[in-house]
Amino acid sequence: DVKVTQSSRYLVKRTGEKVFLECVQDMDHENMFWYRQDPGLGLRLIYFSYDVKMKEKGDIPEGYSVSREKKERFSLILESASTNQTSMYLCASSSGGEGTGELFFGEGSRLTVL
């Protein structure tokens, strides 16, 4: 069974803390994504990666960075968490090439910043 696994379902952090959200996929997918989901705003793309060590900014990259050292792992980093980063974070992966595009999602990580 294909799987995208996010390391933490629920996190509570304090303002200014550094936060790591980890995502691992077992489908050998080239592309990996981090989305943020907020009520009334749908899913918004933060960053995506199309290959190891390669990354592209999405629609809302400010305050975030990412790391992809291995094909199966894509990490989202909040260097200094702020309360407006309280949200649900969704990781996804997909195979490369035109004509695909189906994203496989993890269960999400709900982050609360106090």
Pick the closer one to another protein by CB: 76 or 92: 92
In angstroms, rounded to a whole number, what is the distance separating the alpha carbons of residues 101 and 114?
36
Name the residue nearer to another protein (CB basis): 85 or 89.
Answer: 89
Q: Which of 99, 91, 84 is nearest to 68 (CA)?
A: 91
17: nearest Cα among 75, 67, 83, 87: 83
Q: Least distance (Å) from another protein to the CB of residue 51?
A: 8
Residues at the interface with another protein (CB under 8 A): 30-31, 33, 35, 40-45, 48, 50-51, 54, 56, 58, 88, 90, 92, 94, 96-108
CB of 101 to another protein, least distance (A): 4
Nearest-5° Cα angle at 53, 112 to 50: 85
